Structure 1
Amino acid sequence: MPKWEDYKSEAKARGALAMELFVVRTRPTGDMGLVKATLPDHLAYQKEMEAAGALVMAGPVSDVTGDMMEAEGMIIYRATNLEAARALANGDPMHKVGARSYDIRKWLVNEGSLSFTVALSSQSVTVN
């Protein structure tokens, strides 16, 4: 198995983007009342991280069938390293109070595309 930095260097040498992001998979620890009570603070924190440029994307994920919501979520952070990303995750009120636990991984983004539409008159943005 190649070391992470070696793989990242090889990806860059191939012309891939090789943008390092951090993926947080978060799940309830059992007390859904605590999750619901902490939700406003969690959402405010997410908005703060977005404004600071640290939050790339976040939201809930379904179960493996795609039919049920199990209260799991995914957060993608932009950070200088794993320790900085872990500090962002630890700062989330859900994790601070123990309402949710998480694991975190580096993600090397190599391929893909994003497109969006900006409608000036309605002041809206649509991501496609």
Structure 2
Amino acid sequence: MPSWNTYKAEAQARGSLAFELFVVISTPAAAPEAIKENLPDHLAYQNTLEREGSLAFAGPMSDETGTQMQGMGLIIYRAASFEDARALADADPMHVAGARSYTLRRWMINEGRISLSVGLSEQTASLA
């Protein structure tokens, strides 16, 4: 298996974007009451990271059937390094309190499309 840096360099040499983000999968580690108790601080923290530009996306995920919520969350950080991303995840009030645990992974984005539509006179914006 090649190292991450080797793989990234090879992807870039092939013309791939090789844009790196960091993915956190956050799972319940305590009773639902502990999660609810820490939710306001967690959301405030996410808000701060969003304003600072460190938070790309975040939100809850369903179970495998797509019909039930099980408390799992997905957080995608912009960070300079794996260590910086870990520091962001470690500082999340949910993780600090032990209400949730997490796994952290590097994510290399090579393909895809994001569309942003801004209606100036309507003062609207949509992301697709």
TM-score bracket, shorter-length normalisation: over 0.9
What is the identity, as a one-letter code, of the residue corresponding to 2:38? T
Q: In the TM superposition, what is the alpha-carbon distance from 1:122 to its structure 2 partner? A: 4.4
SS at match of 2:107: strand
Alpha-carbon RMSD: 1.0
1:7 equivalent to 2:15? Answer: no
SS at match of 1:2: coil
Cα pair distance change 1:10/1:124, threshold 3 Å: same
Q: In structure 2, how many angstroms separate the alpha carbons of the residues matched to 1:73 and 1:88?
A: 15
What CA deviation, in whole Å up to 9, does each residue of 1:62-121 have, x standing for no partner?
A: 111111110100000011111100000011111111110000000001110100111234
Return the TM-score normalized by structure 2: 0.96
What is the identity, as a one-letter code, of the residue corresponding to 1:69? M
Q: In the TM superposition, what is the alpha-carbon distance from 1:27 to its structure 2 partner? A: 0.7
Larger deviation, residues 68-77 vs 114-123: 114-123
Identity of aligned residues (%): 54
SS at match of 2:112: coil
Q: Is residue 30–residue 98 contact of structure 2 (8 Å, CA) maintained in 1?
A: no
Q: In structure 2, how many angstroms separate the alpha carbons of the residues matched to 1:75 and 1:82?
A: 14
- How many residue pairs get matched? 128
SS at match of 2:45: helix
What CA deviation, in whole Å up to 9, does each residue of 1:18-75 have, x standing for no partner?
A: 0111000001113111111111111111010011110000001111111111010000
Return the TM-score normalized by structure 1: 0.96
What are structure 2's unaligned runs of at least 5 residues?
Answer: none
Larger deviation, residues 82-91 vs 115-124: 115-124
Q: Which residue of 2 aligns with 1:112?
A: 112
SS at match of 2:11: helix
